[in-house]
Amino acid sequence: MKEKPIFEEVFAQLVSQPKLLLKVLLGSALSFVPILNFFAFGYLYRYAAQLRRSGQIELPEWTDWAGLFSDGLKFALAGFVYCLLPLGVALIFSLFLSALGLDALAYLLMLATFICVSVLLCVALYRLQMRSNYKDLFDVVLIVRMAIMKGPNLIVPMLVFAGICAVGLSFYGVIFFAGFLLLLTQTTLTYRALETAK
């Protein structure tokens, strides 16, 4: 992969992966079901870790289910800190704005928060995989700074991710899994290029 990953090339490589449809369908189906969704989370975590090490886009097989579940717990912890908590706070503010008749502003707040926390989650996962130290998840200032530093490079993937989510919201399992697969690929390669350039 080039030093600065180009989104179009990353996307083309990702969609040309062998058995992509089967792997995405399995991950999407698992994402729909509580508890079983930890296996899908684990697959995403494992894929990002493998991508960080090798720099090569290669989807892993669905094997080692116990390991997938364990990795899924790591993903879920990062998701709770960087997605659910901020989205909960944003929801409270958006309900307040809606009560004031500012529905459009409330919608924009939720959309902006969703896009930002999705990237923050990807950055937090990358940071966690660097040292496998859970304390790194709580270095919020560093993770936010990392996200801001490469934010301009991630605008297109963020907008594509938001578009995928907006179009297919009723199929949230497919959207979650496929969308994060794409966003994780781009963010992991972006930060890996920065890390290996040092």
Q: What is the pLDDT of residues 158-198, one digit of tens each?
A: 888 777 777 766 667 778 888 889 999 999 999 998 888 76
pTM across the whole model: 0.89
Specify whether the CB–CB gap between 81 and 138 falls below 8 A: yes
**What's the rounded Cα separation, in Å, for the pair 134 and 167?**
34
CA 145 to chain centre: 17
**What's the rounded Cα separation, in Å, for the pair 197 and 134?**
25
Tokens of 125: 């996962």
Domain assignment of residue 42, yes or no? yes
* Widest distance between CA atoms in the chain: 51
Specify whether the CB–CB gap between 40 and 50 falls below 8 A: no
Q: What is the pLDDT of residues 66-81, one digit of tens each?
A: 999 999 999 999 999 9
Query: Which of 187, 134, 140 shows the shortest CA–CA distance to 160?
Result: 187
Specify whether the CB–CB gap between 137 and 81 falls below 8 A: yes
Taking each helix axis as running N to C, give the angle between helix 65-79 and helix 103-131, from 0 to 180 degrees, rounded to the nearest 10: 130
Q: What is the pLDDT of residues 10-35, one digit of tens each?
A: 989 999 999 999 999 999 999 888 99
Please give the residue range of the domain that contains residue 123: 38-50+67-75+116-193
Q: Structural domain tally of the chain? A: 1
Domain assignment of residue 101, yes or no? no
Domain assignment of residue 129, yes or no? yes
Domain assignment of residue 4, yes or no? no
Domain assignment of residue 55, yes or no? no
Domain assignment of residue 145, yes or no? yes
Specify whether the CB–CB gap between 53 and 73 falls below 8 A: no
Q: How many C-beta atoms lie closer than 10 Å to residue 171's C-beta?
A: 13
Domain assignment of residue 172, yes or no? yes
Domain assignment of residue 136, yes or no? yes
